Amino acid sequence: MPDSSKLHTLDSQLNLTERDQKVIWHPYTQMKNALPHIPIVRGEGVYVFDEDGKRYIDAVSSWWVNIHGHSHPYIAQRVAEQLNVLEHVIFAGFTHEPAVLLAERLLPILPGKQDKVFYTDNGSTAVEVALKMCLQYWDNKGTPKAKILAFKNAYHGDTFGAMSVSGRSIFTDAFNSLLFDVEFIDLPNENNISHLISHISNLKDTACFIFEPLILGSGGMLMYEAKYLDQLLSACKDAAILTIADEVMTGFGRTGTYFACEKLTNKPDIICLSKGLTGGTMPLGVTTCTKEIFEAFLSDDKLKTLYHGHSFTANPIACVASLASLDILLKSETLQNIKRVEAKHAVFLEEIKTHPKVKAIRQTGTIIAIEWETDNETSYLSNLRNLLYSYFLNKGIILRPLGNIIYILPPYVISDEDLDYIYAAIKSALEEV
Ligand SMILES: *Cc1c(COP(=O)(O)O)cnc(C)c1O
């Protein structure tokens, strides 16, 4: 019998925020002095509504996952139907229509010649699988390689492998001594590209290069040009270094094309997807690879198997949410929305780029980032971040600054009026904060 004195009773005297405070440990949150967590009871389109009926524009797509708006009726309907047919089944030894169909529909629209889909649960695990595929690929080929190449300030997730290939930062600080060794290179630009290429061509023992194409998200929405990335991929190819495009954030229209790597001539060997995959409805991760990589695991030798899997691998409900999200994504109307958001951002960028408080401003597709002028070096922890966060919340806008960097990364269905409202709020913040 449970000790009833230890049971958390559902205290009707308390509101949701207070009940939360008693039992929940939130992500990325110093719980000692955390602001009260806002109780959201409903979502519709770009809006979420709190317990008191206050409306917030979800200008960051709920951590970059939501592409078609909240509680999308079509996705909801498809998910509900699937729930009555098959909620889940073990994916080793068994298969199901949603997983097969999603792979059949995804592979042809991915950049390059992606041949196989490996399912996991989220972006971090999609990255883990990609790294394992590369390391074991060389092992299976009989030419083991141990080194991995990544960008400084990269972010590839929070599990240990994904953390290892991410830039060292306050997020990794407590674990740095346990992270495996990775070589970090600068983002390419016109000045360093030839140096980077010759550096890569001299690398020995390097299994793979993992990168966020065109834009480093958590690292501060740092953007770089496709043509230089293209040259890095070409150098990797020449040096027999496999390439992993982490399109977890950039996938599904975020950068203006369905996938960021469409803008490249050289294509990656492996692609990681998650976030927008299910339209932001369910957790699901995908790692795709070329035939060449897949075939290196085919063997009579059991040790050449990719021994990786998760209990919820290829969850049918998440696969169906993805199929429904794809239906919406591939409509011409959605592409028009993406182009509309992109064009609106470009006009706003011109309007404020010379403002004295704007240290830098940059845009890739539907993402626009504004770096605030600040005299504080350790900007992520700066007070400015919290001031800005609260300022926009008070105006009914969810914007989560990365330190002194504000960015808008909205669901594509956001209206012109809502975008104008956010732009106006940023302009007034530039005067007031
Ligand atoms: C968010 C993100 C991840 C990690 O995805 P999770 O689902 O949060 O584990 C990996 N790579 C990139 C580029 C991301 O933006």
Each residue of 60-110: pLDDT tens digit? Answer: 999 999 999 999 999 999 999 999 999 999 999 999 999 999 999 999 999
Does the Cβ of 217 fall within 6 Å of ligand 1? yes
d(CA 295, CA 284) in angstroms, rounded, equals 25
63 carries a ligand binding annotation? yes
Q: For residue 147, what pLDDT is reported?
A: 96
Domains of the chain, residue spans: 38-71+332-432, 74-329
Output the CA angle 210-211-217, nearest 5 degrees.
135
- The residue nearest atom 5 of ligand 1, judged by CA position, is 123
pLDDT in tens, 27-59: 999 999 899 999 999 999 999 999 999 999 999
Q: Contact 328/74 with Cβ under 8 angstroms?
A: yes
Predicted confidence band of residue 383 (pLDDT cuts 50, 70, 90): confident
Q: Is 123 in the pocket of ligand 1 (CB under 6 A)?
A: yes
Closest CA to 213 of 362, 402, 364, 401: 364
Which is the closest atom of ligand 1 to the Cα of 250?
Answer: 13
pLDDT reported for residue 224: 98
Which CATH code is given to the segment(s) 38-71+332-432? 3.90.1150.10
Q: Say if residues 368 and 353 touch (Cβ distance below 8 Å).
A: no
Is the C-beta atom of 128 inside 6 A of ligand 1?
no
d(CA 269, CA 180) in angstroms, rounded, equals: 22
Bridge partners (DSSP) listed for residue 362 = 369
Indicate whether 9 pLDDT > 60: no
How close is the Cα of 94 to the center of ligand 1, in Å? 28
* Residue 155 assigned ligand-binding role: yes
CA of 123 to the centre of ligand 1 (A): 4
Nearest Cα to 207, choosing from 152, 130, 123, 116? Answer: 130
Kind of pairing, strands 358-364 and 242-246?
unpaired
Question: How far away, in angstroms, is 42 Cα from ligand 1 center?
Answer: 25
Domain 74-329: state its class. Answer: alpha beta
Q: What per-residue confidence (pLDDT) applies to 3? A: 58
Nearest protein Cα to ligand 1, atom 8:
123
- Residue 256 gets the label, from left (phi > 0), alpha (psi -120 to 50) or beta, of left
Cα separation, 233 vs 224, in Å, equals 14
Q: Cβ(292)–Cβ(36) under 8 Å?
A: no
Does 74-329 match 38-71+332-432 at the fold level?
no
- Is there a contact between 277 and 325 (Cβ–Cβ < 8 Å)? yes
